[in-house]
Structure 1
């Protein structure tokens, strides 16, 4: 009986120490490399969406947003602790650091922009479905090529 109790205690300890690792393995990271920046002015702002509502223009609807200073014509940003699933990323080159995509006459963007999956831009932004990527495993890497009009 004493041997059974020791064995049960050992299993419980092993189970408790393995539990945090199991949860950590279920989380993913998404690294987004942004290329094609015209200059090294301002910042690059990314918004990560898990559904179509608000994509791509409402960063307040994004599950996470990040801005990083531009130090070269290519930069990378990582979103951590994501559940596996479908996401879409919207990026702007915020050259004047005002936090918005500045537009000119007829609403044509004056700053660079891009989306996950680099969809073809026609009239207006792409849908969530056109920009959606699958995040799974421990890490996913994508590249977004900025566009300037």
Structure 2
């Protein structure tokens, strides 16, 4: 009886260790020496439809939101109300842009006048009333211990998840 209980405990602990490794392996980027985990926690996701795309930008102002400017991107299945994404990064400064690709077309959808029809978010939750935020307003740092970064998804029209 004790032997079976001990074997069951070892099996459960082994499964948990494998599961933890799998989660760490799901992080995008290079987990080599000096890298730490940046976990982006996207709150306010309205639906589990589609994907949430989390894009990480380096500490270079001209690359922020520019075509080809990203450092890394994670596309993860949307989960409401919170979706998480993970990156391996070196300690330093970065910026994050997020959108809810509700229809899964890998494109950030806008209406005929250019207004977003899918949810979006930026690190530091900068104002976006009059256009895109600046790099400085979205810039954050990751220390030697890694970081969990909360961001808040915004939808311009409540319940509008595109088509």
Instruction: Give the TM-score normalised by the residue count of structure 2.
Output: 0.71
Q: What is the Cα deviation at residue 33 of structure 1?
A: 0.2
Q: Secondary structure at the match of 1:89?
A: strand
What residue in structure 2 maps to residue 117 of structure 1?
A: 124
In structure 2, stretches of 5+ residues that fail to align are: 1-31, 157-163
Q: Is 2:39–2:86's contact at 8 Å kept on the other side of the alignment?
A: yes
**Inter-partner Cα distance in structure 1 for 2:119 and 2:79:** 16
Q: Which has the higher contact order (CA 8 A, sep 6+)?
A: 1
**Higher CA-based Rg:** 1
**Inter-partner Cα distance in structure 2 for 1:78 and 1:106:** 34
What CA RMSD, in Å, does the superposition of the two structures yield over aligned residues? Answer: 1.4
* Higher relative helix content: 1
**Inter-partner Cα distance in structure 2 for 1:69 and 1:90:** 16
What residue in structure 1 maps to residue 97 of structure 2?
A: 90
Q: Is 2:44–2:80's contact at 8 Å kept on the other side of the alignment?
A: no
Q: Is 1:27–1:138's contact at 8 Å kept on the other side of the alignment?
A: no
State the number of aligned residues.
124
| Aligned positions of 1:1-149 closer than 5 A | 24=33, 26-50=34-58, 51-56=60-65, 58=67, 60-80=68-88, 82-149=89-156
Q: Is 2:45–2:79's contact at 8 Å kept on the other side of the alignment?
A: no
Instruction: Give the TM-score normalised by the residue count of structure 1.
Output: 0.78
Q: Is 2:46–2:80's contact at 8 Å kept on the other side of the alignment?
A: no
In structure 1, stretches of 5+ residues that fail to align are: 1-22
